[in-house]
Amino acid sequence: MPIANVLQKLPFLDSLRGPTKRGPVLFASWDQVNVYFLVVKERKDTIGAIAWGTIEREAEKPSLEVLHRHLKQQQISASRLVLLLPRTDLEMTTVEIPPAEEGEVAALVRAEVEQLIGDSDHDLVVDYRLLDGATPSPILAPQAKEPDKDQPAESDPVTSRPHTAAAFSLEEGELNQWKEATEKIDLQLAAFTSRQTAPLAQLRTKRVFRSPLSVLIVVYEGEVELSFFRGNRLASLRTFRAGSHDVGSLTDQIQTEVQRSISLMDFVAPGERPELLVLVRSPLDASEDVQPKQDVSDESLSLCESLDANPVYLAMPVDSSSKQDDPADSRDADPVLVAAAYGYAQHQLAVDLVHPKVPPVPPNPIRRWGSIAALAAGSLGIVSYTMIADVNDLKGQVSERKLELTEAEQIAGKMQEKADETRLVQQWLGDQVDWLGQLQKLSGLFPEGQRANVRRLSANVDGTTGVFDLSIQVNDPNRVAELENRLRDANFSITSKRISEQTNNEEYPWQFEARIAFPIAPLEEREEETFLLNGESENLGMKNADSEFAKRENLAEPDSEEGTEVESSADAMVSEVSENAL
């Protein structure tokens, strides 16, 4: 492919091409005999005809050269050219396309055309017109009215059913030749379209197609174009050669072709008759006399009368700058060119090979990745700046927390020292037993000295229980039960054993051993104690011990040698207990 053709396919180079010329627009078309032209001047809101006419073709010269010579002779100027080519100069192919999104239709049509044509060394320029009347749910062409936005998405015809399209194709080299030929006559090729599809949009705008099935007939020299409509939607296109210019023969041929085409259409109901419409291009197409004719021969009938068809007229107002000899109206201008001029002014040309419909251009990867890179770099810079600021703030907070932690550790160390001291004191206090208090309670529960005598006493701690082991002498065995009851009533537990009788001791003939236990109260449940100085506590302890054991002396006989031993052992025990308490 030449480099120039490649550059023309790059959409972002449109801005580098030459500017579009301004000025009158020349619309041109031809058939086997004549060349038809119309020069239009565009106003702000409308268009007007400047010049129009019909030129006879020359066998050995191109139609554009003949047209240019005539315009030069008549001093008619134009800057842009819109060409309407017949089927003989522009290839048309009917293709079936599967259900697809609107942006994918152009690529599918091009693929179908290339498959039908086969391999070619030349690139094709393809444009299409959707035959939306051939299916119940049409695909709307770009120039057609958009569907109702309230219509449910599932009924969208673009993606629901396969559809038919009329595809027009031309080799790119051939299109370039047309552009070069246009430039030689000092014109810019503005549009390159099909002669048959150019007037259809304007006719539909004027609501010409009102019947359920209509056929538009356009007669040229040597050929006839048929356009089939389902309602106001194009369903099929057909062109055939006219065998004769005789109205009767032409009528029979048109009727035959219409019936043959309708029989091949699966969307036409059996017996359905179409409405025939004739686009009036010459006096033979329709008579200007609107009165009905009577008793006339078939040779004097117009084509509309012979076909029982309705005539369709199209005209354009004449611009004030027109130099036409008879500027009363533009009735003599080709109505196909008039409809094409309105369609071009309203951007409703269904087919234009100069600006064909193409798939959406994918985004430029350089721009895309450049934008992504710029966005990523900006985001990275913002994130880095934010992270650095956050890190600096966190470092300051860490320094402050370290100082607070150091102070807290120092305070915690001091508090731990105090807690250890407190724990040791509480443990020491919890291990202490008020032996003197318990002895005082026991002395109040024991019998009088004449009834009982304590020979041995020892004290120890068993877990959370304080224990006294005693050896006691009594004058009556009933004293044992009496002593046990008193102690149990005072929340002491007592176990007596080895109760035996002593025959050699008349005052205390009975002897037994007892174990007295009492619970050691927890530290928090003990009564508040008064701590005294060493000297005061020692004197107080001695006084209490003396008074306590003075009572015990009454339990033993002063003259008894055994009682003296008990006294001495009791005094030693009291001294030991006092020293432990202090």
The verdict on 45 and 191 lying in the same domain is yes
CB 274 within 8 A of CB 259: no
Token pair 């102690």 is at which residue? 487
Listed residue (321, 379, 430) closest to 42, CA to CA: 321
Task: Burial-class residue 372 by CB neighbours within 10 Å (0-12, 13-18, 19+).
Answer: exposed
- How far apart are the C-alpha atoms of 166 and 329, rounded to whole Å? 35
CB 442 within 8 A of CB 454: no
SS3 170: strand
The verdict on 319 and 439 lying in the same domain is no
The verdict on 213 and 97 lying in the same domain is yes
Domain membership flag for residue 355: no
Beta bridge partners of 458: 469
Ranges of beta strands (E only) in 44-195 are 47-56, 80-85, 91-97, 124-130, 163-171, 188-194
* Residue 35, domain CATH: 3.30.420.380
The verdict on 339 and 454 lying in the same domain is no
pTM for the full predicted model: 0.58
Residue 548 CB contacts under 8 Å (≥ 6 apart), including other chains: 436, 439, 440, 443, 574
CB 206 within 8 A of CB 128: no
Residue 265: per-residue pLDDT: 83
Listed residue (558, 477, 464) closest to 510, CA to CA: 477
Distances (CA, A) of 339 to 145, 227, 296: 18, 15, 34
SS3 408: helix
Q: How many domains does the chain have?
A: 2
Give the CA count within 13 Å in the CB-facing half-sphere of 310: 12
CB 474 within 8 A of CB 458: no
The verdict on 122 and 232 lying in the same domain is yes
Domain membership flag for residue 122: yes
* Residue 447, domain CATH: 3.30.1360.100
Residue 508: per-residue pLDDT: 81
The verdict on 312 and 454 lying in the same domain is no
Domain membership flag for residue 255: yes
Which amino acid is residue 146, in one-letter code? E
- How far apart are the C-alpha atoms of 141 and 129, rounded to whole Å? 7
Residue 278 CB contacts under 8 Å (≥ 6 apart), including other chains: 217, 218, 219, 285, 286, 303, 304, 307, 309, 310, 311, 312
Residues in the chain, pLDDT under 70: 1-21, 119-120, 135-161, 288-300, 325-331, 431, 523, 525-582
Distances (CA, A) of 40 to 56, 97, 319, 470: 21, 37, 8, 144
The verdict on 489 and 341 lying in the same domain is no
Domain membership flag for residue 340: yes
Residue 326 CB contacts under 8 Å (≥ 6 apart), including other chains: 332
Residue 581: per-residue pLDDT: 39
The verdict on 319 and 465 lying in the same domain is no
Where in the sequence is the domain holding 236, given as residue range(s)? 25-135+161-289+301-346
Domain membership flag for residue 311: yes
Token pair 């369903």 is at which residue? 235
The verdict on 314 and 463 lying in the same domain is no
Which amino acid is residue 289, in one-letter code? D
Residue 499: per-residue pLDDT: 79
Listed residue (311, 312, 215, 204) closest to 268, CA to CA: 215
Token pair 């091409």 is at which residue? 17
Token pair 């939607």 is at which residue? 233
Residue 154: per-residue pLDDT: 40
The residue among 522, 542, 560 that closes a domain is: 522
Digit-coded pLDDT (tens) for 363-416: 778 887 888 889 999 999 999 999 999 999 999 999 999 999 999 999 999 999
Residue 396: per-residue pLDDT: 92
Domain membership flag for residue 537: no
498 backbone φψ class: left, alpha, beta (φ>0; ψ -120 to 50): left
Residue 480: per-residue pLDDT: 80
DSSP state of 264: T
Domain membership flag for residue 109: yes
Residue 298: per-residue pLDDT: 52
Domain membership flag for residue 60: yes
CB 339 within 8 A of CB 314: yes
Residues written for the chain: 582
Beta bridge partners of 40: 25, 49
The verdict on 174 and 64 lying in the same domain is yes
Q: How are strands ordered across the β-sheet holding 25-30?
A: 47-56, 34-42, 25-30, 80-85, 188-194
The verdict on 341 and 480 lying in the same domain is no
Run of H or E residues at 494: strand 493-501
CB 562 within 8 A of CB 455: yes
Listed residue (322, 339, 215) closest to 274, CA to CA: 215
